Structure 1
């Protein structure tokens, strides 16, 4: 056995506690895999005297001085599971610039300012690993970064937020509305007391930025991601999706291809969408995550599993710890970023997609012709129309062929001004079909 690899653990909440427990329970196996024991040099927390049950750790290891712990000479690896932008960014930059490897699960920081962390890692010649930042225990980021490094990835489509997937799955299964499904998710512990980050798509957008950055060798930040949440998805939308043989999922979609000017570019978006029940992502239920990757040589690949929770996330953190510890002993480090392509980000208006539009219209002659004329003026082709009448009103459901999102949005905008259109009940994108 070589000299022990010593860790500074920043944070000891749900994930941090599981990391400590797994390090203790699997100490012998981990040492055998690494080639040296892994020891905890210290644990930075806000309340060092807080009771932590039967956590197998010496209370003397707890400290409130996270930066001081990071700077200690006897620390080899810094593990950050606190979250947020600051002070986590300061801690990690300090560690990386000083040549200490870093493992983090901080998706928000990576999406907002991952470039600063990657630059610090390159400056210090240190490892930066972050498998736990997306999709929990699912081995996803390392295959994108390493296993598929010799291939060209063209598209990544994923369900990367367990809370919203549970809500939409419940709505699909029971016919419940969004509010009722959210209440169930909260009661079962799938949703936070403040679910905004999940239901408004912020969490998924951060993960989409990380996935796109790795897949397309381009720095993509959270601000580059078009984001829509699921709060407007209704029971009627879900019923309409069922009638089409579809279901509704909150998808992150990252694509590489030519933009409007023909130049290669990247499009990244998060929004609810109808997908056919035959699509591999349609059967992903409960709070599970799944990511569908399309590459030129490898074809279609699917990654599936639990995307959140203390134990699954800690499993991914531990995998990174083993990897960086091995590198440490070998005296090498792995490049954490490949951003050579530096492709421009395509605006949402250039994304090519399909729309499902539900209209309440006057039930009289000429309505369909007036509505179809709006689509024709914006060069949007109609795929299907379904109409049902009731007294003086009628419901009109239109599904389009693929078109630029800007043209589709302009079509909806003009429809709102038609005197024969009483209201637009819903607008949803349709993915995964022709």
Structure 2
């Protein structure tokens, strides 16, 4: 994921009916990122529903099931821009059944806008989302206290919600500087694009002003070059009779011709001869760039192998501890035989002990649980059939994450982080399982 100062990847999260889709629609509308005929269609649909003003959530909830139920059930990616910055936004579901979609949408986000209904305050789903975002390593948060116009004493309500939420996120590892709280009304546009005269108790930036000016943190990584091989290119044509290239995306660091690399898990050393693209060779490729690497030596490299820098090559592991967010209705139990996908490599895996189950509501941990249920977070041990070149998630989000997959139908069952991600959370006294 290449980091550009004029591009921000963000996501929305929150409980059902907190107004996420309306807020996203407001962002699209106020930044003039929707066509006139789309606005006309939304206006007509709103009139048919008996509404006096356009329902901007219809700009986002495009699925028929979502429109009928009035909820978002899938991750909707939206693109908009202002004169100062471009944005890629993932609008994620709020229902507890779709927490897995929130994990997917926020996994690459540099900032998440977490909505809270001013009438309800911080609820259990707010705490659940905050815990998931902390484990995913999202560097920055915006607390958008929505529907602030519907409470009798907005100043007191806003202050109380900020105090409760501040205590929560500090326990989860965020600093005060990484969190910005803004009172908004997505329906009327208060403090979204323009400052509201109805919130004299708030003198901070509007949501768009904050999104335009917040520092774009680099991809959290403390490792060198990492390149999971996706495909081996052998054209076997008269023009390229001996060409052998290894295609993939640079997951971390950078690579240039002449760099010495190690092929993992075999441990073979070689040198990069060229960095090719469809537009010609590059002098260097940074993280996030999809390229084809040509190596100086004829070595055995296949899909699933990882090319890494010599200086900090990780030791391939067959057994490791991990933190997992369980995303399936069927519970995870010790001894489960699954598939593990790390980068471009898929291998058989056995789940060993369930070490802890994390309670995101109370910030406590229960040792040795019998199982992990849907949306529960826990620490487990994993053994894989083939070694993987994994880094700790704390030093590389891209090479420290993996998926657990059902070998029967290919469905994703869990999202995992290599290492004990719970160590960054201020976990209180443990409780029995």
- The TM-score normalised by the length of structure 2 is 0.24
Q: Higher relative contact order by CA 8 Å / sep ≥ 6: 1 or 2?
A: 1
Structure number having the greater helix percentage: 1
- The TM-score normalised by the length of structure 1 is 0.24
